[in-house]
Amino acid sequence: MHHFDYRNGRLHCEDVALDTIADEVGTPVYVYSSATLRRHARVIAGAFDGMSCLIAYSVKANGNLGVLRTLAEEGCGADVVSGGELMRARRAGIPASRIVFSGVGKTRAEMRLALEEGIHQFNIESAAELAVLAEVAASTGKTAKVAVRVNPDVAAGGHPNISTGKSGDKFGVPWNEARKAYAQIAEIDGIEAVGVDVHIGSQIDDITPMRAAFEKVMGLVRELRQEGHDIQRVDLGGGLAIPYKSTDNPPPPSDYANMIREVTEGLGLEVILEPGRVIAGNAGVLVTEALFVKPGPARNFLMVDAGMNDLMRPALYQAHHDILPLRERPAGDKMRYDIVGPICESTDKFAAERDMPPIEGGDRLAIMSAGAYGAVLSSQYNARPLVPEVLVDGDRYAVIRRRPDFEEMIALESIPDWLS
């Protein structure tokens, strides 16, 4: 569910017409709904009511400070994969004790920062990373609480670029080496094994592979406990799918929670979850303006002012996003368009052969379900400024990241003396 709907023929985010925001801020512009963010966070929390559960929102999905503060006020922790994400979460008011540090390539500086902040745990993905963390922990005199991310060799389904749980993926310790990793940890001062971590992929629309992976992990927990390891937590990652099309029907969080209740029953574990897309995805849209229609011999190209540098998902994953005009159109004639941006790449395409009401230059469109992996993946390719972000709360809104001007875009660059 989301809070974007037509009222009197105008597409609104909550109680604010998107045209109103576009008039003031310009296009392209990301717009997020506070009500949708809150609702999704509450639905997930409610599904796990009665369980010992840390909902560590995946900052990589959308790390804007306004979004993070909104979720911090709902009691969310954070799953981070860099020092920058850690500092964002802390700046937004998320306690370090509710932050989990994931990722395959943490630097020594990032490890030191996390230890000094006092985070909940590190998710370790290799023996080499463990050795580096041990050195850093020893140098700081602190103990690092860790979970080993195991690779269960379970296919999640969906796009191969977001599969993370097969044996050929770069993520996690191979399944047959997991117990050895815990035995090594037991011999290292300054490292305390407190949990097991697993994450098999993203945009998973069937919880069957999740259950298969989680059941393997619970078997490992039992074995580790029998071997004397004090395993108190399981981090089950994220990955629950959202509907990008009206015909999509992903499993609800309640089904996901009930499955986790069943597989963890009797183990007395704290469950850590890392939802990202399922909270932020349908809470945001990218508003863009049509420039003109370019007729072609085989198809019509609808040129818009947003590009693949602003929303990478269609180019990167061939992802579908519904696209709606900001002004509601009566049912009637349709035109078929390739909806494309101004970037000098053939992959700069938001939709191919999409049936839409007739669109003219100056009409505005909303690219739906753009709240996750949208602005965070954007760039300044073709010397285009980063897109501003706006947060709506009821009948009010605020620009939570403004569009930089040209001088700000080049402020970090300089011309060497020998070229002057």
Catalytic residues: 344
- State the CB neighbour count (10 A cutoff) for residue 222: 11
Tell me whether residue 74 is exposed, middle or buried, using C-beta atoms within 10 angstroms of its C-beta: 0 to 12, 13 to 18, 19 or more. Answer: middle
DSSP 15: T
Q: Which two tokens stand for residue 198?
A: 């697993």
Residue with tokens 């009206």: 246
Q: How many whole angstroms separate alpha carbon 57 and alpha carbon 277?
A: 9
| Three-class HEC string of 237-260 | CCCECCCCCCCCCCCCHHHHHHHH
Is residue 224 a contact partner of residue 179, using CB atoms and an 8 Å limit? yes
Question: Long-range contacts for 15-21 (Cβ within 8 Å, ≥24 apart)?
Answer: 15/392, 15/394, 15/395, 16/392, 16/395, 16/396, 16/397, 17/326, 18/285, 18/287, 18/326, 18/364, 18/366, 19/326, 19/327, 19/364, 21/287, 21/390, 21/392, 21/397
Contacts of 126 (CB under 8 A, 6+ apart): 104, 173
